[in-house]
Structure 1
Amino acid sequence: MFPWNKRLRGLRRYQDIVQAMVKYGYIDVAEALRLRRPLRLGQRLFGASEIVSFGKPQRLRMLLEELGPTFVKFGQLLSTRVDALPPDYLSELATLQDHVAAEPFAVVQEIVEAELQAPLNRLFDTVESVPLAAASIAQVHRATLPNGARVVIKVQRPKIPQTIAADLDVLRDLAHLAERYMVEWRPFQLMGLVEEFAHTITKELDFRQERRNLERCAHNFANDPTVLIPQAYAQLSTSRVLTMAYVEGTKISDRDALMRRGHDPHTVAVHGANALLKQIFVHGFFQGDPHPGNLIVLPNDVIAILDYGMFGSIDTETREQLAALLLGVVQRNAGKMIRALTDLEIVASEHGRRQLQREVSSLVDTYLTVPLAQIDLTVMLDEMFKMIRGHGLQIPPEFFLLLRALTTAESLGRKLDPAFSIAEHIQPFAEQLVMERYDPRYIMRRLGATGEDAGDLLSYMPGAMMHILERVQRGELQMGVEMRQLDRLTRDFDTASNRLTLAIILAASIIGSSLVIQTQTPPLLWGYPALGLIGFLISVVLGLSLVIAILRSGGF
């Protein structure tokens, strides 16, 4: 049972959502979700008119922006789902931006002092009252430390966890309604998508996790002169406050400014792509949303990464399988792609494998004569993922983050250098990772790990066997036997028994009725005992029902 105030907040939120749907021309969706009461109120407020000067994708973006931070973040996640939305929706949702006013500096100061348990003027020499940037979850202020170091303080907005938690409850309800009433959305498993989003955004709300992501990246790129990871200040960071070194440079997306400052756009594009591909293929820990606003260029074309909120991770085995898949895509080898999909457990049955291979081969054939540098890798991957989902197969969520990262890298690279091809840069990384499988040192490491597992198993088995035997002796061990056809056999036996019982009753009814008719016992009907005639009538009904049941079951 939910508290009444929580219920009321939920009802108000539903009302806000449906009114926004009406305002932006999504009445059909509200009707499909059976949100009738809020819909009537929304129609009274806004009428049934749409904002006709914008297309539906633009109106969806505007709707999500109006609904606030949770829905903006959810829309950003949807923009990675190439299997669920058309390209015009994906490109529009990728531009989602927060439109929120900055919190007053007094509120920021109160949060920082409460989190770090000290007055602001003791912690920092100076703090700028006007934020450098303000987003839906947090805002950033420049500051200097007592030692003169320039830093930025990222401060979480007040009550944002409670707001997001309430919105997540509403999103779960909407996903449930969509799966129940909108059949066309069921294959996309919206409930699972919302839970995936809830997990991701909950992690983003904990700035300690963001600091750990930053420190892990700093370790991974410690010896790479082309990438700079800002320093994090652990003693000035908590779950709601993150302090890191201030880095000043040129936005990676501003090609004209880069050229004015002496940067080479081609080198910048290569360094940016290599930084992402190292995260994926070397470190197995990659930025899921490498937004151009979070990447700046320093002297010598060094790339600085500023945001560490959304990161994905893939283990070594998955990295190898992914490398094989992308290598198959780059080499336009359908057989290699299908083998990699099978290793990734995306393709299971032999029949599904053959059918999908035919479709993938057809896709590959369209690219056979296209030079590698001219292949739009993200479009090719989009088409392949849609084929996979068309077969009802599941794609791991981290693959969509990966595709989003590659899409952003390719788009940004081509903006800097029209001749840039992410496919050309993927090939050497993927080949290196695949070849490492055959490196003697790698094989020895795998054998060593297997040997350790075998040793652990051998040391565990005697104790486990003793435990099982002790339970057997005490009579605590129960065994279950599954007979897969037993349920069907039981049903067939029950049906036969019922029919036999009905047949016996039918025979008894006919014999009894015959005996009664011969006695001429009153009352009489047409000269025959009425009781006997009723018995014959019941016998006819029972007989017909028995014959119909046998005919329907095909057992005649």
Structure 2
Amino acid sequence: MPSDSALVTAQTSHSLKRRYRRILTFAAIALAQTWWFELVLPKFGLKKRVAKSRTRRLQKLARKFRVLAADLGGLVIKAGQFLSARIDVLPVEITRELEGLQDEVAPEPFESVVAQIEEQLGLPLTVAFEEFANEPIAAASLGQAYRARLSAGLAGDLGFAEVIVKVLRPGIDDVVAVDLKAIRKVGSWLSRIRLVNRRADAPALVEEFAFTCLQEIDYRVEAQHLERFAADFSGDPWVATPTVIWERSARKVLTLSNVAAIKISDVSALESAGIDSNKVAAELARVTFQQMFVTGFFHADPHPGNIFVTPQGSGSSVPFTLTFIDFGMMGEVSEVLKQDLQTLLFALVARDARGYVMAIQRLGVLLPTADTVQLERAVSALFDRFAGLGVADLTKTDPRELRDFAIKFNEILRTLPFQMPENFLLLFRSISLISGVTSALNRDFNMWDAVDPFARTLLNGGASRTFGAAGRQLLSTLTTLASLPQRLDALISRVENGDLVTRNPVLEQKVKSVSASSTRLTIVIVLTAAVALVLNLW
């Protein structure tokens, strides 16, 4: 007769195999349905009927995935959250349904949590902590968090006693291994689908996702992330982080100082504390830009539950701090990517449609074969009409205008060979979350107002780390100016071909009539305008 441990092992193995089959079965059915409706039926003259039912079908599919993710937990929830940011690959009907996928599952039994802590720390729970709550304050798919008090001796050395203890779920290593095996299989299937592989390298995206998730199940990595982030902002009085208690931390247990304060999305609590929510939004935007464009190391999961607003006393130089927690999911920006992102930022600030399109080409978002004339025209119209408008302003805009513009813009995007580079996955997720938080803080908050002064700071060499990049950007601008005579010839060719993107039809007609005798005068005019723009930004 098999022993109890053997039975448990057999049951666990069966459960993991069943989990693997459920994930693959769902993916296989979803892909088969998509193939049938999007490829087979249109060949039999049913294209209009398929298009009519598409939204309903996709929403139903996304809701089924949400049910599956909530039931399985583990990396299935994480995968859904990542997919919600893949607007370049997935239809908006799916990404919108997945946006609200919450990483909340039933907690593990307290006895198994205690056993995990004692095994990891090599100490009885009563020795490691003076007090330890029986119920978790949060139970996510990978781990749980508890309130606790440090033992008196350690608390005296550190100067505080109240802590938060994060504990990985027992058996999570096996769950993650099975989930990654299934997700890699699905990624290999997707790589054979033309609609997907021409926009993204599915296996590469899966590996990036896997790398991030494997880091999340090693709390020592999270602790290192936290301390690196804290060092990056050590001179910024607006930013704070918890303290790592290394004496009570290990791979599956992480103990941090308790920094709980006002949840950043709790506007009424901010008002009660005398804190201006618009100032909070502005500082959050600045700190986000600092991470992405300067330090190159950013928090990739900045949802409202991971950012507190901590009021400061009258003796402080700032009225509050933005206190970040949960550093399991972080992103890193290389020096080359950072410089390209800065170029994109400068194009946005200058409302330079052509510069913007060239920047996203350099970033790898647009493939080299893309015909960008229509996109440049659309971006130019976007800058002209909507640049500088906050959320509140947009709500006052005629909905028909917004809808018509969105439809036209979407049609243009779908005709272009674009993709979301693998290293943009976390970056895009972070920007999306921050945008939602700032809008919730203040519907009148204008991201353009936050971008402008930050870009000017970069151009002015406001931070020593960016001075070299700013200098290179200026050199690039001057090089562009020096090559304008040759570029003007190309401009005239575009005009003759009817491809000129301009905001002034009268000017376009005049440029069409440029002759060789007036070329020099035109060059002078263009140079003067370009130099004025540079001086204005500088």
Say if 2:78 and 2:103, in contact at 8 Å, map to a contact too: no
Post-superposition shift, 1:373?
A: 3.3
- Partner secondary structure for residue 90 of structure 2: coil
Amino acid at match of 1:301: F
- CA RMSD of superposed structures (Å): 3.9
Post-superposition shift, 1:435?
A: 4.8
- Partner secondary structure for residue 220 of structure 2: helix
1:36 maps to none
Post-superposition shift, 1:122?
A: 1.8
CA distance in 2, matches of 1:412, 1:438: 26
Post-superposition shift, 1:308?
A: 0.4
C-alpha change, 1:129 and 1:61, in structure 2 (3 Å) is same
Post-superposition shift, 1:207?
A: 0.9
C-alpha change, 1:139 and 1:412, in structure 2 (3 Å) is same
**Residue from 361, 369, 387 that aligns with 2:377:** 361
Q: Is residue 185 from structure 1 mapped to residue 211 from structure 2 by the alignment?
A: no
Say if 1:134 and 1:140, in contact at 8 Å, map to a contact too: yes
Say if 1:323 and 1:431, in contact at 8 Å, map to a contact too: no
1:204 maps to 216
2:276 maps to 264
Say if 1:253 and 1:292, in contact at 8 Å, map to a contact too: yes
CA distance in 1, matches of 2:195, 2:336: 34
Map residues 490-529 of structure 1 onto 2, 5 A cutoff: none
C-alpha change, 1:404 and 1:211, in structure 2 (3 Å) is same
**Residue from 255, 260, 263 that aligns with 1:248:** 260
CA distance in 1, matches of 2:469, 2:86: 39
2:184 maps to 172
C-alpha change, 1:397 and 1:407, in structure 2 (3 Å) is same
CA distance in 2, matches of 1:401, 1:236: 30
CA distance in 2, matches of 1:194, 1:423: 33
1:282 maps to 294
Unaligned 5+ segments in structure 1 are: 33-50, 448-556
2:423 maps to 398
C-alpha change, 1:364 and 1:149, in structure 2 (3 Å) is same
1:437-465 superposed Cα distances (whole Å, 9 cap, x missing partner): 99999559999xxxxxxxxxxxxxxxxxx
CA distance in 2, matches of 1:346, 1:25: 27
**Residue from 5, 14, 17 that aligns with 2:23:** 17
Q: Is residue 64 from structure 1 mapped to residue 105 from structure 2 by the alignment?
A: no
Unaligned 5+ segments in structure 2 are: 1-9, 38-55, 312-318, 395-401, 473-538
1:273 maps to 285
CA distance in 2, matches of 1:235, 1:369: 57
Amino acid at match of 1:369: R
Say if 1:320 and 1:433, in contact at 8 Å, map to a contact too: no
1:415 maps to 440
Say if 2:24 and 2:182, in contact at 8 Å, map to a contact too: no
Q: Percent identity of the aligned residues?
A: 31
Say if 1:285 and 1:312, in contact at 8 Å, map to a contact too: yes
CA distance in 2, matches of 1:435, 1:231: 34
1:112 maps to 117
2:453 maps to 428
C-alpha change, 1:31 and 1:17, in structure 2 (3 Å) is farther
CA distance in 2, matches of 1:20, 1:241: 33
**Residue from 285, 297, 316 that aligns with 2:309:** 297
Post-superposition shift, 1:18?
A: 6.3
2:525 maps to none
Q: Which has the larger radius of gyration?
A: 1
Say if 1:233 and 1:243, in contact at 8 Å, map to a contact too: yes
Post-superposition shift, 1:235?
A: 2.1
CA distance in 1, matches of 2:420, 2:414: 8
1:374 maps to 390
- Partner secondary structure for residue 293 of structure 2: helix
Post-superposition shift, 1:358?
A: 4.0
Q: How many pairs were matched up?
A: 420
C-alpha change, 1:183 and 1:256, in structure 2 (3 Å) is same
Amino acid at match of 2:256: M
CA distance in 2, matches of 1:445, 1:363: 25
2:339 maps to 320
1:476 maps to none
CA distance in 2, matches of 1:232, 1:78: 31
1:140 maps to 145
1:40 maps to none
CA distance in 1, matches of 2:242, 2:281: 20
CA distance in 1, matches of 2:14, 2:330: 35
1:227 maps to 239
Say if 2:460 and 2:470, in contact at 8 Å, map to a contact too: no
1:521 maps to none
- Partner secondary structure for residue 367 of structure 1: helix
CA distance in 2, matches of 1:159, 1:390: 46
Say if 2:142 and 2:169, in contact at 8 Å, map to a contact too: yes
Say if 2:222 and 2:328, in contact at 8 Å, map to a contact too: yes
2:348 maps to 329
- Partner secondary structure for residue 373 of structure 1: coil
Q: TM-score, normalised by structure 2?
A: 0.69
Amino acid at match of 1:373: L
Post-superposition shift, 1:69?
A: 1.6
CA distance in 2, matches of 1:158, 1:440: 43
- Partner secondary structure for residue 242 of structure 2: coil
2:516 maps to none
C-alpha change, 1:311 and 1:257, in structure 2 (3 Å) is same
Amino acid at match of 2:379: L
Q: Is residue 94 from structure 1 mapped to residue 110 from structure 2 by the alignment?
A: no
Q: Is residue 80 from structure 1 mapped to residue 105 from structure 2 by the alignment?
A: no
CA distance in 1, matches of 2:163, 2:463: 46
Amino acid at match of 1:145: L
Amino acid at match of 2:327: Y
- Partner secondary structure for residue 445 of structure 2: coil
Say if 2:459 and 2:470, in contact at 8 Å, map to a contact too: no
1:344 maps to 363
Post-superposition shift, 1:342?
A: 4.5
C-alpha change, 1:306 and 1:237, in structure 2 (3 Å) is same
Post-superposition shift, 1:241?
A: 0.9
Say if 2:238 and 2:321, in contact at 8 Å, map to a contact too: yes
- Partner secondary structure for residue 79 of structure 2: helix
CA distance in 2, matches of 1:174, 1:31: 18
